Structure 1
Amino acid sequence: MATRPGTGTPALRHELPPAAVAAMHAQLPTLADDVVAAIVEEVPSYRDAFSGPMGETISDAVELALGGFLILASRGRAADVRTAPAEGSYQLGRGEARSGRTTDALLSAYRIGARVAWRELSTTAVRHGLGAEVLADFAELVFAYIDEQSAAAVAGHTDELATTGRVRQRLLERVANHLLQGSPVDQVVTAAERADWEPPRTLTAVLVPESQVRQLLTALAPGTLQAADAPGLEEGALLLVPDAHAHRRPALLRILADRGAIAGPARPWLDVRASYDRALRARAAGLEVDTEAHLVSLVLDADASARADLRAQLLAPLEGLRPGTAEKLTDTLRCWLLHQGRRDEVAAALFVHPQTVRYRMGQLRELYGDRLDDPDTVLALTVALG
């Protein structure tokens, strides 16, 4: 068996008799219908796809491919005749990817087509006197040709998935960017429709290291968005996870555990920027995994300079004391606030005698007067010393 330059398809050592080739050409319409019928029967995913007018279109395509093969077999000029049928197979593969069918189904169809075609064509060849040696060459050429067409179809399928995946990823990133930039609702909704992305009830912003993105995307909900160039994000990546609220949040936190990630609160999907901003603040504060477990710290540290000013203002009555005394009274005042004035609990927290607490609180009352009974002052001191 020789191989023609420029193609992997072998050429026959012996020419096929013209009468046999003519007979094979004559049977192509019937053979194409038989191939389609066999595929429909044996590959379930093609039953609906090949029904009605679509079945006729596929039958015509099969007839064209088989006609190209017979030209190849009769002339032995593979390089001249395989381009069009191979291009057809390539485009078929792309179409199958767009239809959501797998390469397994596609390759099954080619195998079935090869089997049916060989059975019918070989019968005609024998009937026209082809000897065993020529028939063996013919068989090898049939299956080599089908291999070429299968490879072209798989290449088309792979290219379509890659192209579709890249395009859709860009569209999804555009949705995320609109959400983070606060774009008008109609723009966000339009972007979601173009990306074929169904808006969830809520979105949760999750900051993750770059090294964890791929693994997390396989573990999180399929509709998770990955934001590109999120505003204010200097390192790591931002994922927007759909419907991870209420009883679903613990599952999200288990996935994120030990990954250096931080999850903001669940928010209505159009308000996810608030979740992202909180996650950013939490990471800046050195927190991990769950912002909702650190709400007090986040509130108290929301404006560090304002809190420092508040603390200085409220502790002004202690400025004239010795540093050691001021520190002890400050600690006592903090515990008194946190334990709501229960002297024994304050003493236990400070590891001192209750009488010491009584003495210190007497000092503080002398310094603050009635202000320690004022609800606004108590609230301000609790925030400042919390």
Structure 2
Amino acid sequence: MIEPLRDVRSYRLPKSVIAPLRQGLADVSVQTITAITMEVPAYAQAFAGVLGHKIERAVQAALGTFLNLVSRPGTDPGTPLASALEGAYALGRGEARSGRSLDALLAAYRVGARVAWRELAAISVNSGQPAGTIADFAELVFAYIDELSAASVAGHADELAASGRIRLRHLQQLAQALVAGESAHVVQAAAERAEWVTPQTLTAILLPERAARSLIDLLDPRTLPLAGALPDLPGTAVLLVPDPQGASRSHLTRLLTGHDAVIGPARPWLQAQLSVERAVRVQQLHTPAPGQVVDTEEHLPELVVSADPAALADLRERALAPLAGERGSAAAKLVETLRSWLLHHGRREDVAAELFVHPQTVRYRMTRLRELYGDRLKDPRWVLALTIALAVPAPDA
């Protein structure tokens, strides 16, 4: 059975063992730094110049703390180690801020432990220490390095988590500024704070919040998510996706299939609010059916004719005035037929196919419409008015 490492906090070495180690501490620190520099490339630059001297002193202090810890008398073993652990924790945070990985840090600890033990053991052997004492000393060295490594790992992880939360908050503030249509200098400042690489365009996507959370990882890493930004559309999230144009837009549509999404137009990134506004208007006109993807580019005519609802209602009332005397169901069928006749340029067979009626029925209805409208169905201005008025179904249709 493998015994666990001894607790470095409670073990003590005699002064006769510690004294020669203290005398050789400076040389051991230099050897440790040299080995780390050679074996861990990520640290080669960090150890250059003035910074190298600072790190050398830090390594020497860490080794000195170890010697203090294993030689101090009394019943309070935690104080010397606490200081070393705080330093190791701070080192881990500093490494994360510098962009160096945890792998490099742990590699440096492994190399440092090996070299420090080799040099310190050589001093102990030269001073005539027995094998049992040297073995105990080796165990304490590696236990101490394990403690420091764990503290640095915790510091590294905490710094990454904290910086990640801060950056996420900055990204959310950037998304809010874009959706709110803030001025260019405000948005650009927010982008700089978030360290966000600006694209040429952004495209707004509206979809349920639950779907946004599952899809965000499939999109461009620069995608900006924003939940709860649309008071009139509760439960709807906004995703601002960089540069989904051309083939990328088709790929985006395929990714969104099955998620009740509305895709806005691509707009210059500082004008992303325009894409959001377009998507909201189409969402209000065409709430996606379950699993459907609605592309605003396919609904431009409806957006145009519905831009002024009151004007459209007045135009519709004027254009359909000749049908005022018709009964409700008969009038509805005539409006339906007139709309299809206009869209199909009078092709009776196409009108019949769309309405699921016999061509003769279309002929009968058009005869009635010509009676009601007279020559106005041949007047280009009236045909234009009717086409616009009937371009989208009436609200109560």
Report if TM-score (shorter chain) is over 0.5.
yes
Q: Any idea what SS the aligned residue of 1:208 has? A: strand
Could you tell me how far apart the structure 1 residues matched to 2:355 and 2:246 are?
Answer: 38
1:49, distance to aligned residue in structure 2 (A)? 2.7
With over 3 angstroms needed to count, the CA separation of the structure-2 counterparts of 1:261 and 1:57, relative to structure 1, is farther
Structure 2, gaps ≥5 residues long:
392-397
Moved more, 168-177 or 279-288: 279-288
Counterpart code for 2:317: A
1:320, distance to aligned residue in structure 2 (A)? 1.1
With over 3 angstroms needed to count, the CA separation of the structure-2 counterparts of 1:137 and 1:342, relative to structure 1, is same
What is the match of residue 117 of structure 1?
Answer: 116
With over 3 angstroms needed to count, the CA separation of the structure-2 counterparts of 1:320 and 1:203, relative to structure 1, is same
- 2:5, 2:139 within 8 Å by CA — same for their partners in 1? no
Could you tell me how far apart the structure 2 residues matched to 1:328 and 1:212 are?
Answer: 41
Q: Any idea what SS the aligned residue of 1:80 has? A: helix
Could you tell me how far apart the structure 1 residues matched to 2:236 and 2:353 are?
Answer: 44
Instruction: Write out per-residue CA displacement over residues 237-267 of structure 1, whole angstroms, 9 at most, x where no aligned residue.
Output: 2221122223321222222222333322211
Q: Any idea what SS the aligned residue of 2:202 has? A: strand
1:354, distance to aligned residue in structure 2 (A)? 4.6
Instruction: Report percent identity of matched pairs.
Output: 53
Q: Does 1:267 align with 2:264?
A: no
Could you tell me how far apart the structure 1 residues matched to 2:378 and 2:326 are?
Answer: 22
Could you tell me how far apart the structure 2 residues matched to 1:89 and 1:211 are?
Answer: 41
What is the match of residue 101 of structure 1?
Answer: 100
What is the match of residue 159 of structure 2?
Answer: 160
Q: Any idea what SS the aligned residue of 1:40 has? A: helix
With over 3 angstroms needed to count, the CA separation of the structure-2 counterparts of 1:91 and 1:353, relative to structure 1, is closer
Could you tell me how far apart the structure 1 residues matched to 2:351 and 2:329 are?
Answer: 19
Could you tell me how far apart the structure 2 residues matched to 1:28 and 1:141 are?
Answer: 16
What is the match of residue 69 of structure 2?
Answer: 72
- 2:228, 2:236 within 8 Å by CA — same for their partners in 1? no
1:146, distance to aligned residue in structure 2 (A)? 0.7
Structure 1, gaps ≥5 residues long:
none
Counterpart code for 2:164: G
Moved more, 324-333 or 159-168: 324-333
Moved more, 183-192 or 359-368: 359-368
Q: Any idea what SS the aligned residue of 2:264 has? A: strand
What is the match of residue 365 of structure 1?
Answer: 370
Could you tell me how far apart the structure 2 residues matched to 1:331 and 1:316 are?
Answer: 15
Moved more, 85-94 or 189-198: 189-198
With over 3 angstroms needed to count, the CA separation of the structure-2 counterparts of 1:217 and 1:360, relative to structure 1, is closer
1:317, distance to aligned residue in structure 2 (A)? 0.9
What is the match of residue 394 of structure 2?
Answer: none
Instruction: Write out per-residue CA displacement over residues 9-68 of structure 1, whole angstroms, 9 at most, x where no aligned residue.
Output: 34335x3343x4232222222222222222222222222332333222222211111111
With over 3 angstroms needed to count, the CA separation of the structure-2 counterparts of 1:141 and 1:237, relative to structure 1, is same
Could you tell me how far apart the structure 1 residues matched to 2:321 and 2:216 are?
Answer: 53
Instruction: Write out per-residue CA displacement over residues 332-376 of structure 1, whole angstroms, 9 at most, x where no aligned residue.
Output: 212210111223433444455555544432322221122212333
With over 3 angstroms needed to count, the CA separation of the structure-2 counterparts of 1:349 and 1:227, relative to structure 1, is closer
1:325, distance to aligned residue in structure 2 (A)? 3.3
Q: After superposition, where does 1:183-202 map in structure 2 within 5 Å?
A: 183-202=182-201
With over 3 angstroms needed to count, the CA separation of the structure-2 counterparts of 1:262 and 1:356, relative to structure 1, is closer
What is the match of residue 238 of structure 1?
Answer: 238
Could you tell me how far apart the structure 2 residues matched to 1:130 and 1:299 are?
Answer: 92
Moved more, 145-154 or 123-132: 123-132
Q: Indicate which of 26, 45, 48 corresponds to 1:48.
A: 45
1:304, distance to aligned residue in structure 2 (A)? 5.5
Instruction: Write out per-residue CA displacement over residues 128-160 of structure 1, whole angstroms, 9 at most, x where no aligned residue.
Output: 222233222212211111111111111111111
Could you tell me how far apart the structure 2 residues matched to 1:44 and 1:258 are?
Answer: 48
Q: Does 1:26 align with 2:27?
A: no
What is the match of residue 258 of structure 2?
Answer: 258
Q: After superposition, where does 1:162-311 map in structure 2 within 5 Å?
A: 162-227=161-226, 229-232=228-231, 233-284=233-284, 285-287=286-288, 288-289=292-293, 290-299=295-304, 307-311=312-316
1:191, distance to aligned residue in structure 2 (A)? 1.9
Counterpart code for 2:372: L
Q: After superposition, where does 1:74-93 map in structure 2 within 5 Å?
A: 74-75=71-72, 78-93=77-92
Counterpart code for 1:69: F
- 2:9, 2:78 within 8 Å by CA — same for their partners in 1? no
Task: Give the count of matched residue pairs.
Answer: 381
With over 3 angstroms needed to count, the CA separation of the structure-2 counterparts of 1:219 and 1:345, relative to structure 1, is closer
Could you tell me how far apart the structure 1 residues matched to 2:368 and 2:350 are?
Answer: 19
What is the match of residue 395 of structure 2?
Answer: none
TM-score by length of 2: 0.86
Could you tell me how far apart the structure 2 residues matched to 1:246 and 1:33 are?
Answer: 59
Could you tell me how far apart the structure 2 residues matched to 1:372 and 1:269 are?
Answer: 46
Q: Any idea what SS the aligned residue of 2:205 has? A: strand
- 2:228, 2:235 within 8 Å by CA — same for their partners in 1? no
